[in-house]
Amino acid sequence: MGKTQQPELKLQAKLIPCLQSQGFLATKTSDRFKAGRPDLRIGRHDLGQLDVELKYLTFTMGQLWCEPEKPLEFDTGLSKLQWLKMRDMNSHGMPAVGLLYVEASEMFVVTTLLRDSLTYPLRFVKKGPSDGNLIDGAELFSVAHRYLKGDFR
């Protein structure tokens, strides 16, 4: 249970061309020599820019929703340094979120927390506009900006 590095890198390699096919510029921004920097920078002229720290969660759905009235709180995989960097970026008008891929549901969820629970299904991001797309890039921007404004808390 938790996150693993190798699937995260494979997912990142699929995510970039998926977003590019939807008209986004998606580039890898992480640098192994500069800790805390988000993994991806995504942008499109009509939506602006968003920095994303991608995490891959191998939880089962049963582990995440063991009791509907008391959802499991789990470690998102964000390090304290990544959390601090995202907080700093967001406070300076540079939108940044953690994007958790939940393997069991094959969906993405937006967060900025070190520990979280999936009590807000509105933070889930829909799949892309065609069968081959992992994620809908415009939906990612919409969900991330609503979350950062506090609409889901």
Structural domains present in the chain: 5-148 (3.40.1350.10)
> What are the helix (H) ranges across 21-67?
61-64
pLDDT at 1: 46
For the chain, give the number of residues: 153
pLDDT at 138: 95
Q: How far apart are the C-alpha atoms of 79 and 150, rounded to whole Å?
A: 22
What does the pLDDT average to over 59-71? 64
What is the pTM for the complete model shown?
Answer: 0.87
Q: Is the pLDDT of residue 111 over 70?
A: yes
What is the per-residue pLDDT for 71? 67
**Which tokens in the block code for residue 75?**
């470690």
The mean pLDDT value of the chain amounts to 86
Cβ neighbourhood burial of 62 (10 Å; 0-12, 13-18, 19+): exposed
Residue 65, pLDDT score: 59
List, for residues 44-58, the tens digit of each pLDDT value: 999 999 999 999 988
Return d(Cα 43, Cα 137) in angstroms, integer. Answer: 9
- 124 or 72, higher pLDDT: 124
pLDDT at 33: 65
Max CA pair span of the chain: 43
